[in-house]
Structure 1
């Protein structure tokens, strides 16, 4: 679903980790590529299994989105190479001096009114996948009828502690392998689009339901290039969407032929009515490219982005931009306004990959947790540091997201709305458990052209265990306004 992470990002990070580790027994990247390669098209993604999940590998030496599983998110992580790197990173004496701590406080301490717990499943056992906030006390959820398959939309009231059904999310008649993709909340309607991601059809459709609930209605279908949907929006009378090649289109809610919005060549929808001149992050795109403008499609007004020297990957909303400094090994983050003012580089926040923009102008960054090196030069990690952090660029306040496992792993999810979401969540009860065993070396992947290893090696697999009862949710719509 949203928040796909490219192989290129993953490869860069794991390569960096490998530089600091002894030669691995097997080729982890090869294993990852083989597993990722089975999914030739973008699959719908699920909460904490794939959508927005962060798995920290090897004591802070690498961070990867989406557990490396074969079925789209759940299961084991093949990790002979990971085990070798982990053992090396954890071995050896430490400096006598106490290392510093990451000073980012948990979101529950920073914004207590914005953090709540909700059931991980509906009363009938369907698993919840958070989408976004509808208000400070209402959360839009998908209840999955089966793995990765949306069955209905619900609204959870965090004050009353109960959910109500908004609408079912049916598949169109005669369409096999249909999956709902991104959901978008407008002021009057909830909209979503779907496709058949596991076949070669160039086809997609759009649906809407009144925000108050009711029966879902299929607005229309598109084929060819128009089916390469990036993001969607919904107005009082139309569904709008941008396509991978650039350009923004609309279709009346009453049905009819799609039309291209004039003047949108090369533009990509961010959140209606805002459009930008960089594509939503997809595999193979130039992540280092800087955005140069923000366009209001309702007024036609264009704001030029002031891109300072030494910045790359700059991505902007209507007010704030997030990027990183060039040639910085720690991926130091950069925050500024669209006009270049109020530029800052928050400490302990990393701009490693992914999309940083959240609802209401907040930024999302990774937290490496590395706070020093031991006597052997190996990294020392703060085991209490959060996995990620939400940053308020107006006040400079930072709130920690997710819980780091003692093993160095952990996970959190981001809401699966088409626009930048207002929801982040994680399962406090989940843990990553590493199990190792001796196997024949010939069964472990090895670099092409290298001699086949012999003897026994240690092969480790990390499995997610526990959890499944509650989700801790941060709703940014409940954070007091600061601007």
Structure 2
């Protein structure tokens, strides 16, 4: 799908977000990973439909995923044992060429066998698992959901032992209707999350914490108005911290009390405590220019290459997407050193930074055009790839449906996540039928046609038994 078309499509369909229906069931097959807020979930539901349209048209499309976890990562054990999907020893990592044809992207299970494992897709009571992030090289933090995005508890799954442990229940506050637990984040001592009432029409949010070792969750406090427009959160030793969609970072003592805006954080958005940036979730095409340590207020200026329409950083490495059709992904350190292009990768949105400064991008399978000008695709190409800028390694992830589409997800933690996952048995199947044209959902302002028309939908089928997970905390890295 052409980038400019994608941008126009996003702008058009975003206006219809509130009218989009809540998607049924688990949409891993259509949506890479969820956004925390209900309004953002509706936007992604519409974007998933847009991706389906692109697939039907012959282009490779994957709905973009979510920005996930970096803080409080726990030990990184490169040689830890995991239940590997494939046990073939990984050859020396391939390095991307500087220009021209994209390198062959091998599956993550070949590249990082100790980092890839399978886990149950459901808890013993039937609740579906939603991966959040990794706690160590063998421990995964999961949300157990009783229904779509209704998180009821947090569990830790040990891939080495094949065992699960309940970390904490995620209760709803008494007397609050329409409550949804939202993004979770892992700190050095606590696991925190916030909840909202997205269908209530008010601006309201509360914060919860539980010790990282597990126990009974405790509500820290409630906020309203601008302070409730939470986009990211984290914890310190004595406070819960969060940034709001309009910019600015707040803190509230873990024992409760009056929240305060941290001085000097105007226009800043939390990346992972104590780090903040000058771009937020609404900044679709604004390059990141600063990285700020909120403990010291020391600012790192980011060197942004010319021609970047999106550019974002972790703590040391940055990734960007330019305007040209080829070699669009640029990687380099925050100071501009070690900058290189990575052929064959494409950004969908701006959420491409994972934990440990790995990057994640969609992959085009287009290998040429036929005599009619239609794109020819190689369906053996992976849906997406994780890129390690330290070693130059590319690892393919996701489940391709063999028809130009596919699925994958990334962990839903507030900070950049250390988990990428997918369902190997999930299939995207096209179903067509004749319907009244006026009944087909469309963005507001678009004319409603009359008569019958052939309406096709691509829906997920199968799966639901196991998830394949890539744990980035188990990936060895050497300079």
The answer to whether the aligner puts 1:480 opposite 2:452 as a matched pair is no
Distance 1:407 1:141, change over 3 A: same
Q: Secondary structure at the match of 2:336?
A: coil
Conservation of the 8 A alpha-carbon contact between 1:333 and 1:345:
yes
Structure 1 residue 462 and structure 2 residue 458: aligned? yes
Partner residue of 1:96? none
Structure 1 unmatched runs, 5+: 1-8, 17-27, 55-65, 88-99
Deviation at 1:301, TM superposition (A): 1.5
Match of 1:6 in 2: none
Change (3 A) 1:33 1:244: closer
Which of 362, 383, 386 matches 1:387? 383
Show the counterpart of 1:302: 299
Residue 32 of structure 2 corresponds to residue 52 of structure 1: yes
Distance 1:312 1:377 in 2: 28
The question of whether the paired residues in 2 share the 8 Å contact of 1:317 and 1:361 is answered with yes
In 1, Cα distance between the equivalents of 2:381 and 2:118? Answer: 21
Deviation, structure 1 residue 395 = 1.2
Q: CA deviation at 1:118?
A: 0.2
The answer on whether the counterparts of 2:181 and 2:195 sit within 8 Å (CA) in structure 1 is yes
Verify: 1:313 aligned to 2:285, yes or no: no
1:85 corresponding residue in structure 2: 57
Q: TM-score, normalised by structure 1?
A: 0.81
Q: Decide whether aligned partners of structure 1 residues 446 and 121 sit closer, same or farther in structure 2, where only a CA change above 3 A counts.
A: closer
The 1-side partners of 2:294 and 2:447 are apart by 55
Cα gap change, 1:147/1:72 in structure 2, threshold over 3 Å: closer, same or farther?
farther
Distance 1:29 1:294 in 2: 28
- Taking a change above 3 Å as real, the CA distance of residues 438 and 138 of structure 1, as seen in their structure-2 partners, is same
The 5-angstrom pairing of residues 445-456 of structure 1 reads 452=449
- How far the C-alpha of 1:146 sits from its partner, in A, is 2.2
Matches within 5 A, 1:145-294: 145-279=146-280, 281-282=281-282, 285=283, 287-294=284-291
User: What stretches of structure 2 of length at least 5 have no aligned partner?
Assistant: 60-100
C-alpha distance in 1, partners of 2:474/2:189? 20
Q: Secondary structure at the match of 1:458?
A: strand
> Aligned-residue CA RMSD in angstroms?
3.4
| CA displacement 1:38-81 (0-9 Å, x = unmatched) | 259x9999672676349xxxxxxxxxxx9x9989869x959996
Question: For each residue in 1:24-48, what CA deviation from the matched residue of structure 2 results, as whole angstroms up to 9, or x when unmatched?
Answer: xxxx998x668633259x9999672
From 342, 345, 349, the counterpart of 2:341 = 345
3-state SS of paired residue (2:5):
helix
Q: 1:418 aligns with which of 414, 417, 424?
A: 414
Q: In structure 2, what is the Cα distance between the partners aligned to 1:318 and 1:250?
A: 22
Count of aligned residue pairs for this structure pair? 431
SS in structure 1 of the partner of residue 407 of structure 2: coil
Task: Tell me the equivalent position of 1:370.
Answer: 366
Counterparts of 1:241 and 1:368, CA distance in 2:
36
